[in-house]
């Protein structure tokens, strides 16, 4: 399948540059995954789309202030380090700029030397290994010196760091927000629970590979990035119980989908699991554990749009995106969302 089959036209002015003042006031395109039928709504009405016995699955990962601006110790050249994932206590995989001038062994300082790192060898992902040295507590220094790693298509300054976190974020480790969860408020979650819906969480630390375009001409030639995830026993048991009782498994975001589908057997039963997942979901994939999906609008030719196309069919997905463009929905991380449901659990999409 050609990567170009997942392209669509998006006017630049529809890329949301700032979050809405109220999280739950975003628009929501409600999509039937089988028929492709669409209707327009608002996220504040999301609880009304759920039924007693459903289970809602959230990703509790918290974004770290992963963007560090510093200078090369020799020469004072401005540098940028973008943390991707922790390899051990003080060693990270990161993207560095300017890459050609930051060879292995080069020293970089942040905050006037409060935090220092040495550039290491390239990684398989295309990043670099870096090792930090510092006095004090690393997390406190990072919180003071680091900036939120907003996607490259966002050019406006983020005034409130908390708006790039979900209200239920707990465990730090993501280099990007699980953005479908940004629409939730505590009040919406209370309404969800009041409808008799079980709310559970899992952990998947989002990597910046999420935003990297697929450069391969053919989809099957793309090498999917890996992300760390954990599904504990209580969450697995809650999802299994809901499905056995006839409830739906409703995932918030493609990250939750990746974690659940990586933990499911061929019958859709989940087992507790932790580790790296490199699952690549494209049209033709048979979903084993997920029945409905809340997700934002994704970049053209991205792996996330491919996953959505696998879930609701490529033609249905692209038709939904064309409708969202016509109706001037806000796109990407700070944008609006779509809720995709309907059809039999575990269905295979062929287109």
| Residue-by-residue pLDDT tens, the chain, 351 positions | 999 999 999 999 999 999 999 999 999 999 999 999 999 999 999 999 999 999 999 999 999 999 999 999 998 999 999 999 899 999 999 999 998 889 999 999 999 999 999 999 999 878 899 999 999 999 999 999 999 999 989 999 999 999 999 999 999 999 999 999 999 999 999 999 999 999 999 999 998 776 677 999 999 999 898 899 999 999 999 999 999 999 999 999 999 999 999 999 999 999 999 999 999 999 999 999 999 999 999 999 999 999 999 999 999 999 999 999 999 999 999 999 999 998 545 444 545
Nearest partner of 274 among 171, 177, 345, 123, judged by Cα: 171
The Cβ of residue 271 has, within 10 Å, a number of other Cβ atoms equal to 12
Give me the pLDDT at residue 350, please. Answer: 44
Homologous superfamily assigned to 67-144: QueA-like (2.40.10.240)
Give me the pLDDT at residue 126, please. Answer: 81
Cα–Cα distances (Å) from 186 to 57, 191, 234, in that order, read 15, 9, 22
Give me the pLDDT at residue 313, please. Answer: 97
Extract the tokens encoding 297: 């609008």
DSSP-derived pairing of the beta strands 91-97 and 78-86: antiparallel
The CATH 2.40.10.240 portion of the chain extends over: 67-144
Give me the pLDDT at residue 351, please. Answer: 55
CA dihedral sign, ordered 206, 28, 240, 261? negative
The CATH 3.40.1780.10 portion of the chain extends over: 3-63+160-341
Give me the pLDDT at residue 12, please. Answer: 97
Cα separation, 115 vs 139, whole angstroms: 11
Give me the pLDDT at residue 343, please. Answer: 58
SS (H, E, C) the chain: CEHHHHCCCCCHHHECCCCCCCHHHCEEEEEECCCCCEEEEEHHHHHHHCCCCCEEEEECEEECCCEEEEEECCCCCEEEEEEEEECCCCEEEEEEECHHHCCCCCEEEEHHHCEEEEEEEECCCCCEEEEEEECCCHHHHHHHHCECCCCCCCCCCCCCHHHHCCCCCCEEEECCCCHHHHHCCHHHHHHHHHCCCEEEEEEECCCHHHHCCCCCCEHHHCCCCCEEEEECHHHHHHHHHHHHCCCCEEEECHHHHHHHHHHECCCCCECCEEEEECCCCCCCCECCCCCEEEEECCCCCCHHHHHHHHHHCHHHHHHHHHHHHHCCCCECCCCCEEEEECCCCCCECCC
Extract the tokens encoding 335: 């944008």
Burial of residue 102 (CB within 10 Å: 0-12, 13-18, 19+) is buried
Class of domain 3-63+160-341: alpha beta
Cα separation, 73 vs 106, whole angstroms: 8
Q: What is the pTM of this model?
A: 0.93
């Amino acid at each position: 399948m050609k990567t170009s089959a997942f392209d669509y036209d998006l006017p630049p002015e529809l890329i949301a540059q700032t979050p809405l003042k109220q999280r739950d006031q975003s628009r929501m395109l409600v999509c039937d995954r089988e028929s492709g039928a669409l209707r327009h709504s608002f996220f504040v009405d999301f609880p009304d789309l759920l039924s007693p016995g459903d289970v809602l699955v959230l990703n509790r990962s918290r974004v770290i202030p992963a963007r560090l601006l510093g200078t090369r110790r020799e020469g004072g050249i401005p540098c940028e380090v973008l943390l991707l994932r922790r390899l051990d206590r003080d060693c990270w995989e990161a993207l560095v700029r300017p890459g050609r001038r930051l060879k292995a062994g080069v020293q970089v300082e942040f905050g006037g030397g409060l935090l220092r790192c040495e550039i290491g060898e390239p990684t398989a992902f295309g990043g670099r290994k870096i090792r930090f040295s510092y006095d004090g507590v690393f997390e406190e220094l990072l919180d003071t010196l680091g900036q939120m790693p907003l996607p490259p298509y966002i050019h406006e300054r983020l005034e409130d760091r908390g708006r790039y976190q979900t209200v239920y974020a707990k465990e730090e480790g993501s280099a990007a927000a699980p953005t479908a969860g940004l629409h939730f408020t505590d009040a919406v979650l209370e309404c969800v629970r009041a409808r008799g819906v079980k709310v559970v969480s899992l952990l998947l630390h989002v990597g910046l590979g999420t935003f990297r375009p697929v450069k391969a001409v053919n989809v099957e030639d793309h090498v999917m990035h890996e992300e760390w995830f954990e599904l504990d026993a209580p969450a697995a048991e809650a999802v299994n119980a809901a499905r056995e009782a006839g409830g739906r498994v409703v995932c918030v975001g493609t990250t939750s989908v990746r974690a659940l589908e990586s933990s499911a057997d061929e019958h859709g039963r989940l087992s507790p699991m932790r580790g790296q997942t490199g699952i690549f979901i494209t049209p033709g994939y048979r979903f084993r554990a997920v029945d409905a999906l809340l997700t934002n609008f994704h970049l053209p030719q991205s792996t996330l749009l491919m996953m959505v196309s696998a879930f609701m069919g490529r033609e249905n997905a692209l038709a939904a995106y064309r409708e969202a463009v016509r109706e001037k929905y806000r796109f990407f991380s700070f944008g609006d969302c779509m809720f995709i449901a309907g059809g039999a659990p575990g269905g295979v999409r062929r287109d």
